[in-house]
Amino acid sequence: MTSSSGDHRRRVEPIFIIFLCLCAVSSGVDSAVHHLKWEIKYEYRSPDCFQKLAVTVNGDNPGPTITATQGDTLVIEVTNGLHSENTAIHWHGIRQRGTPWSDGTEGVTQCPILPGETFTYRFVVDQAGTYIYHAHYGMQRTAGLYGLIRVLVRNGTIEPFSYDKERSLILNDWWHKSTMEQATGLSSLKFGWVGEPQSLLINGRGRYNCSLAGGTDVCNATNPGCSPFVLTMVPGNTYRLRIASVASLSALNLEIEGHNMTIVEADGHYTQPIVVKNLNIYSGETYSVIVKANQDPSRNYWVRLNVVSRKPGTPTGVAILNYYPNHPKKSPPTIPPTGPLWNDTVYRFNQSKLIKSHPNYTEAPPRTSDRVILLLNTQNKVNGFVRWSINNASFVPPTTPYLIAIKENLRNVFDQNPAPGTYGYQNYDIYSVPQNSNGTLSNSIYRLEFNSTVDVILQNANTMNVNNSETHPWHLHGHDFWVLGFGLGKFDPDVDPKSYNLIDPILKNTVAVHPYGWTALRFRADNPGLWAFHCHVEAHFFIGMGAVFEVGADRINKLPSYILGCGESRRLIKT
Ligand SMILES: *[C@@H]1O[C@H](CO)[C@@H](O)[C@H](O)[C@H]1NC(C)=O
Ligand SMILES: *[C@@H]1O[C@H](CO)[C@@H](O)[C@H](O)[C@H]1NC(C)=O
Ligand SMILES: *[C@@H]1O[C@H](CO)[C@@H](O)[C@H](O)[C@H]1NC(C)=O
Ligand SMILES: *[C@@H]1O[C@H](CO)[C@@H](O)[C@H](O)[C@H]1NC(C)=O
Ligand SMILES: *[C@@H]1O[C@H](CO)[C@@H](O)[C@H](O)[C@H]1NC(C)=O
Ligand SMILES: *[C@@H]1O[C@H](CO)[C@@H](O)[C@H](O)[C@H]1NC(C)=O
Ligand SMILES: *[C@@H]1O[C@H](CO)[C@@H](O)[C@H](O)[C@H]1NC(C)=O
Ligand SMILES: *[C@@H]1O[C@H](CO)[C@@H](O)[C@H](O)[C@H]1NC(C)=O
Ligand SMILES: *[C@@H]1O[C@H](CO)[C@@H](O)[C@H](O)[C@H]1NC(C)=O
Ligand SMILES: *[C@@H]1O[C@H](CO)[C@@H](O)[C@H](O)[C@H]1NC(C)=O
Ligand SMILES: *[C@@H]1O[C@H](CO)[C@@H](O)[C@H](O)[C@H]1NC(C)=O
Ligand SMILES: [Cu+2]
Asked if residue 426 has its Cβ within 6 Å of ligand 3, the reply is no
Q: What pLDDT, on a 0 to 100 scale, did the predictor assign at position 438?
A: 67
Examine the pLDDT at 41 and tell me if it is beyond 70: yes
CATH number at residue 383: 2.60.40.420
Confidence band for 4, pLDDT divided at 50, 70 and 90: very low
Give distance in angstroms: CA of 352 to centre of ligand 6. 12
Q: How do residues 232-276 score in pLDDT, each as one tens digit?
A: 999 999 999 999 999 999 999 999 999 999 999 999 999 999 999
Examine the pLDDT at 436 and tell me if it is beyond 90: no
> Does 352 lie in the same domain as 385?
no
Asked if residue 432 has its Cβ within 6 Å of ligand 11, the reply is no
| Ligand 8 atom 3, closest CA | 436
Under 8 Å between Cβ of 339 and 253: yes
Give distance in angstroms: CA of 213 to centre of ligand 2. 11
* Residue range 303-330: mean pLDDT, rounded: 97
Confidence band for 11, pLDDT divided at 50, 70 and 90: very low
Q: What angle do CA 180, 183, 185 make, to 5 degrees?
A: 105
Examine the pLDDT at 28 and tell me if it is beyond 50: no
Q: Give the bridge partners for 132, in sequence order.
A: 92, 148
Q: How do residues 84-135 score in pLDDT, each as one tens digit?
A: 999 999 999 999 999 999 999 999 999 999 999 999 999 999 999 999 999 9
Ligand 6 atom closest to Cα of residue 350 = 1
Ligand nearest to the CA of 316: 2
Ligand nearest to the CA of 366: 10
Instruction: Give Cα separations from 61 to 86, 102, 172, 228, 515 (angstroms).
Output: 18, 23, 12, 15, 33
Ligand nearest to the CA of 207: 2
Asked if residue 247 is part of any domain, the answer here is yes
Give the distance from CA 64 to its chain's centroid.
Answer: 17
> Does 74 lie in the same domain as 106?
yes
> Does 143 lie in the same domain as 90?
yes
Q: How do residues 380-397 score in pLDDT, each as one tens digit?
A: 999 999 999 999 999 999
Asked if residue 1 is part of any domain, the answer here is no
> Does 414 lie in the same domain as 286?
no
Asked if residue 421 has its Cβ within 6 Å of ligand 8, the reply is no
> Does 94 lie in the same domain as 236?
no
> Does 543 lie in the same domain as 463?
yes
Asked if residue 468 has its Cβ within 6 Å of ligand 5, the reply is no
| Ligand 11 atom 2, closest CA | 467
* Residue range 387-408: mean pLDDT, rounded: 95
Collapsed DSSP state (helix, strand, coil) of residue 540: helix
Asked if residue 275 has its Cβ within 6 Å of ligand 4, the reply is yes
Collapsed DSSP state (helix, strand, coil) of residue 389: strand
Asked if residue 575 is part of any domain, the answer here is no
Q: What pLDDT, on a 0 to 100 scale, did the predictor assign at position 573?
A: 67
Asked if residue 27 is part of any domain, the answer here is yes
pLDDT above 70 as % of the chain = 94
Give distance in angstroms: CA of 367 to centre of ligand 10. 14
> Does 538 lie in the same domain as 478?
yes
Examine the pLDDT at 27 and tell me if it is beyond 90: no
> Does 527 lie in the same domain as 380?
yes
Domain stops at, among 156, 186, 204: 156
Examine the pLDDT at 14 and tell me if it is beyond 70: no
Closest by CA position to 453, among listed 377, 359, 364, 530: 364
Q: Within a 10 A sphere around the Cβ of 378, how many other Cβ atoms? A: 28
Domain stops at, among 156, 180, 202: 156
> Does 238 lie in the same domain as 112?
no
Q: How do residues 538-568 score in pLDDT, each as one tens digit?
A: 999 999 999 999 999 999 999 998 887 788 8
Give distance in angstroms: CA of 155 to centre of ligand 1. 6
Q: Report the domain count for the chain.
A: 3
> Does 191 lie in the same domain as 291?
yes
Asked if residue 459 has its Cβ within 6 Å of ligand 8, the reply is no
* CA-based torsion, 519, 522, 527, 529: positive or negative: positive
pLDDT above 90 as % of the chain = 89
| Ligand 2 atom 3, closest CA | 211
Asked if residue 228 is part of any domain, the answer here is yes
> Does 428 lie in the same domain as 476?
yes
Domain stops at, among 134, 156, 178: 156
Fill in the amino acid letter for 335.
Answer: I
Under 8 Å between Cβ of 92 and 267: no
Q: How do residues 141-197 score in pLDDT, each as one tens digit?
A: 999 999 999 999 999 999 999 999 999 999 999 999 999 999 999 999 999 999 999
Asked if residue 316 has its Cβ within 6 Å of ligand 2, the reply is no
DSSP letter (8 states) at residue 374: E
Q: What pLDDT, on a 0 to 100 scale, did the predictor assign at position 30?
A: 65
Among 216, 218, 219, 220, the mutation site with the greatest number of ligand 3 atoms within 8 A of its Cβ is 220
Give distance in angstroms: CA of 454 to centre of ligand 10. 14
The residue segments making up the domain with residue 275 are: 165-356
Q: How do residues 307-319 score in pLDDT, each as one tens digit?
A: 999 999 999 999 9
Alpha helix ranges (H) inside 45-102: none
Asked if residue 368 is part of any domain, the answer here is yes
Instruction: Give Cα separations from 400 to 110, 318, 410 (angstroms).
Output: 8, 43, 9
Confidence band for 15, pLDDT divided at 50, 70 and 90: very low
Q: What angle do CA 383, 387, 393 make, to 5 degrees?
A: 80
Asked if residue 209 has its Cβ within 6 Å of ligand 2, the reply is yes
- At residue 133, φ and ψ (nearest 5 deg) are -130, 150
Q: How do residues 279-291 score in pLDDT, each as one tens digit?
A: 999 999 999 999 9
Asked if residue 421 is part of any domain, the answer here is yes
> Does 525 lie in the same domain as 429?
yes
Asked if residue 70 is part of any domain, the answer here is yes
Give distance in angstroms: CA of 392 to centre of ligand 8. 6
